[in-house]
Amino acid sequence: MSGKRKLGVGLIGTGFMGKAHALGFTTAARVFDLPFELDLVSVADVSEGSAEGARQRLGFRKATADWRDLLTDPDIEIIDITTPNLLHKEMALAAIAHGKHVYCEKPLAPTVADCAEMVAAAEKAGIVTQVGFNYLKNPLIFLAKDIIESGEIGEIRSMRGIHAEDFMADANVPWGWRLDPRSGGGALADIGSHIIASMRHLVGPIRSVLAETVIQIAERPVSRGAAETRTVEVDDITRAFVRFENGATGSFEASWISTGRKMQHDFEIYGSKGSIVFTQERLNEIRIYYAGDDVRSRGFRTIWAGPEHPPYGAFCVAPGHQIGFNDLKAIEVHEFLDAIAKGGKPSTDFREGYEVQKVLSATYQSARTNEWVEIG
């Protein structure tokens, strides 16, 4: 017996992200000295059959087709939400009302007003929240932030970022919840929220945006193989120029029709004394340039992740052996549990999800008006 207090987890949703979250809890319990003994109590999905299948695969004790069962389970202290965006607010507010800590996938909710309501409820109840911006939990992103904050590359002048994938590039992919305008938007809301979170994390708050949105595939079949189609109302691509509060400028792009791109979460940050370049498709390396290098060492140098970049060493004692996507979720879980234990807050809590949503909303507004929009 560990002697640690048990902390029960209830998971809502068992798709791609539901599995990633479950693996995050399981891995975190193996590689970190967590402040709690984790108990995977119950999993909820849309049917008894799918919930039971997930229970067996993911290691939970119970399964249910009604997510509300998790709210009244006395063994559960964390509600983990990995459902479509439109459902986040109802589930999170219900969990908060029952005194549960909440871990929610991004984006936090479809609208700024929804996010504000969720933040207010969580902060009033004094519960700990986390939003799934797991790309920020990479040990090399921690390194990049340290380099920037230390002044090693000088005054930050600009940043450009992109999050591009191709899971919607085929025009025959049917209309689904991601294309429902009630969910808050298309590619920008779904995956662009990650690059906005990265820009805020590394350079700072964004002051204003000038954007365009593109609907490249105007109609999609109502179901796979169907002849009937439905009009698409959300963006396939969004591009924006940004002005940061600290005087830096930049740009970002979000696209889910970038053929051949599976996970392009890339950025370039330029300072007065150097620069940083990163691509998520090679997440165990980062490139640094120092303007003061002499002619023999001029150019970008590549840094490979290793134990000297915490918390890489918790996963592997050897440099260059690499960590992966699900390991970033484990780091995210560790931060969340540590905040619960200490009464603190993670760096990507509901309030940060709200701040990202404000940028998303302003970006869509700018695309409609074709004007610079201040972040409210």
CA angle 19, 22, 27 (to 5 degrees): 120
- What average pLDDT is seen over the chain? 96
Cα distance between the two ends of the chain: 51
Span 331-338, mean pLDDT? 98
Domains detected in the chain: 6-134 (3.40.50.720), 138-374 (3.30.360.10)
3 confidence band (pLDDT: 50, 70, 90): confident
pTM, 2 dp: 0.95
Span 112-135, mean pLDDT? 98
CA distance 46 to 65: 5
Q: Are 169 and 257 in contact (CB under 8 A)?
A: yes
Q: Residue 2's pLDDT is what?
A: 66
List, for residues 17-47, the tens digit of each pLDDT value: 999 999 999 999 999 999 999 999 999 999 9
Span 116-121, mean pLDDT? 98
For 21, 41, 79, 192, 214, the CA distances from 73, given in Å and listed in that order, are: 20, 9, 11, 35, 45
Span 122-135, mean pLDDT? 98
CA distance 305 to 78: 31
376 confidence band (pLDDT: 50, 70, 90): confident
298 confidence band (pLDDT: 50, 70, 90): confident
Q: Which residues of 99-114 are buried (b: 16+ CB within 10 A; e: fewer)?
A: ebbbbbbbbbbbbbeb
* CA nearest to 258, candidates 188, 167, 166, 195: 166
